Amino acid sequence: MADQDPALSTSHPFYDVARHGILQVAGDDRFGRRVVTFSCCRMPPSHELDHQRLLEYLKYTLDQYVENDYTIIYFHYGLNSRNKPSLGWLQSAYKEFDRKDGDLTLWPRLVSNSRLKRSSQLSLRKYWDYRYKKNLKALYVVHPTSFIKVLWNIFKPLISHKFGKKVTYFNYLSELHEHLKYDQLIIPPEVLRYDEKLQSLHEGRTPPPTKTPPPRPPLPTQQFGVSLQYLKDKNQGELIPPVLRFTVTYLREKGLHTEGLFRRSASVQTVREIQRLYNQGKPVNFDNYGDIHIPAVILKTFLRELPQPLLTFQAYEQILGITCVESSLRVTRCRQILRSLPEHNYIVLRYLMGFLHAVSQESIFNKMNSSNLACVFGLNLIWPSQGASSLSALVPLNLFTELLIEYYEKIFSAPEAPGEHSLAPQQQGSRAAPLQEAVPRTRATGLTKPTIPLSPLMAARRRL
């Protein structure tokens, strides 16, 4: 059995299956879509695994992500006669994801799905199909064998041509680099060793690897993939990174009522074009692109490409422990964790959370409450220093992010600063200090940075 995830609790509803590590969530691909991996080598012998439970666990896992675009990576190595499911099970699994009636317990969630709500005539079948198949944007099959080709021929009559175009075969792990962040993947050691073996077998037919040149220093105008300190030094001491400020300002003015804000992906060519313009110090006018979701994707991309997450590697383990804190004390615990952040990170985080709080206040229009926003931004704000966050870590990471958004005013209230160790209860309810006190005026443009609106929290706040 693979090494068990230390964050996995025995109270997990699918602990008997999840403990094997067959399914993992591995960050995002180049398009900002969530990546789910399936590793066959981690499947135990068939007599030790209830395949029906595996199917239910697969649905349970996908239910957390399929309302947004997502990608699946299937590591085929390790599937053998001892752990291979029967063809009958595979056929029933396909029918399960394509069944006509759907799960009636999911019907209330239709109301919160902005894209589905537009058509009151959508049936449960369309909803089911939409979630599991339409939002699957890519299926990468790594190390395919003749068995895969036989399976494909068997199921080809049942699979639509449109779905078939989403499937891509990769003979080597190195081919994944172009499509996603390879270092975020959780690849089993057995798969790595097998890939090395394949590479060595084909050594004579492939050119020798070229020597990797040393990394070039970033451009003076570089905006993506550089540290907050670098951005501050290159932008006359400005604390809020320009990309973050420009996207937030644009979305605050034109996007607060957009349904499904931050849930949509964008063309990778468009994203790269905008990144290139920003990195070259050239202006970007989002009006020219005609899609309010593009600046939203750029904002997420900027956070995701920081060398260190905004919440820092050091805070990762503390944040994982938020679910162990009593509900009534979680807001206080959030404040304590944030006090350990560098001051610059704290100011940038406060600016971002103020904006996301404003987005959540308009959820009656955009359908993005604090919980939905947390699912989108959780892994863009914090990730481990090695590898990617495990599936079981997503619950505390998203919960922590949700608390920051929903209880923004309490958590970021003045006058407390990062690094202080005393928590004054009488100050918890005070209003956050205006951001313009911490953020100087833009010298290059003469524009004043937008301040964070300090609107009161929703009256009917759920109890944590």
Distance CA 432, CA 310 (A): 19
Helix or strand run (H / E) with residue 37: strand 34-39
Range from 53-67, 87-101, 413-427 carrying the lowest mean pLDDT:
413-427
pLDDT of res. 345:
96
Does residue 242 share a domain with residue 171?
no
Token digits for 163?
């779905």
Residue type, 343: E
Does residue 286 share a domain with residue 145?
no
Does residue 194 share a domain with residue 247?
no
Using the predicted structure, report yes or no on whether residue 310 has a pLDDT greater than 60: yes
- Where residue 83 sits, what CATH number does that domain have? 3.40.525.10
Q: Is residue 82 situated within a structural domain?
A: yes
Does residue 171 share a domain with residue 267?
no
pLDDT of res. 447:
37
Q: Buried b / exposed e across 170-185, counting CB within 10 Å, b at 16+?
A: beebeebeebbbeebb
- Where residue 363 sits, what CATH number does that domain have? 1.10.555.10
pLDDT digits (tens, 9 = 90+) for 20-74: 888 888 777 877 788 888 898 988 877 677 888 888 888 888 887 777 788 888 8
Q: Which of 369, 389, 412 is the last residue of a domain?
A: 412
Q: Is residue 112 situated within a structural domain?
A: no
Q: Which of 370, 395, 412 is the last residue of a domain?
A: 412
| E strand residue ranges, 61-166 | 70-75, 136-142
pLDDT of res. 58:
86
pLDDT of res. 363:
94
Torsion angle, CA of 449/454/458/461, rounded to 10 degrees?
A: 100
Range from 100-114, 171-185, 197-211, 259-273 carrying the lowest mean pLDDT:
100-114
Which of 98, 95, 121 is closest to 110 using CA atoms?
Answer: 121
Using the predicted structure, report yes or no on whether residue 449 has a pLDDT greater than 50: no
Residue type, 353: M
Does residue 191 share a domain with residue 95?
yes
Q: Is residue 270 situated within a structural domain?
A: yes
Using the predicted structure, report yes or no on whether residue 317 has a pLDDT greater than 50: yes
Q: Is residue 402 situated within a structural domain?
A: yes
Around 252, how many Cα atoms within 13 Å sit in the side-chain half-sphere?
A: 19
User: In a 3-state reduction of DSSP, which class is residue 354?
Assistant: helix
Contacts of 94 (CB under 8 A, 6+ apart): 155, 158
Expressed as residue numbers, the domain containing 144 is 18-99+128-204
Does residue 151 share a domain with residue 291?
no
Q: Is residue 217 situated within a structural domain?
A: no
pTM over 0.85: no
Instruction: Write phi, then psi, for 37 (nearest 5 degrees).
Output: -110, 145
Query: At 5, is the pLDDT very low, low, confident or very high (cuts 50, 70, 90)?
Result: low
Does residue 168 share a domain with residue 296?
no
CA angle 365, 366, 372 (to 5 degrees): 135
Does residue 183 share a domain with residue 55?
yes
Distance CA 420, CA 47 (A): 55
Give the residue-averaged pLDDT of 332-336.
94
Using the predicted structure, report yes or no on whether residue 251 has a pLDDT greater than 50: yes
Query: At 227, is the pLDDT very low, low, confident or very high (cuts 50, 70, 90)?
Result: very high
Does residue 267 share a domain with residue 165?
no
Higher local confidence (pLDDT), 4 or 312:
312
Q: Which of 154, 188, 204 is the last residue of a domain?
A: 204
Does residue 371 share a domain with residue 239?
yes
Q: Is residue 119 situated within a structural domain?
A: no
Query: Could you tell me what percent of the chain has a pLDDT over 70?
Result: 71
Range from 76-85, 132-141, 350-359 carrying the lowest mean pLDDT:
132-141
Give the residue-averaged pLDDT of 197-207.
67
Does residue 355 share a domain with residue 313?
yes
Does residue 262 share a domain with residue 165?
no
Query: At 409, is the pLDDT very low, low, confident or very high (cuts 50, 70, 90)?
Result: very high
Distance CA 169, CA 141 (A): 5
Using the predicted structure, report yes or no on whether residue 102 has a pLDDT greater than 50: no
Helices assigned H by DSSP within 159-286: 161-164, 189-201, 228-234, 242-254, 268-279
Q: Is residue 441 situated within a structural domain?
A: no
Distance CA 65, CA 68 (A): 6
Q: Is residue 2 situated within a structural domain?
A: no
CA-derived radius of gyration, the chain: 23
Give the residue-averaged pLDDT of 252-280.
90
Our count of domains for the chain comes to 2
What is the number of other CB atoms lying within 10 angstroms of the CB of residue 270? 14
Q: How far is CA 30 from the centre of its chain?
A: 11
Judge whether 47 and 79 are in contact, CB under 8 Å: no
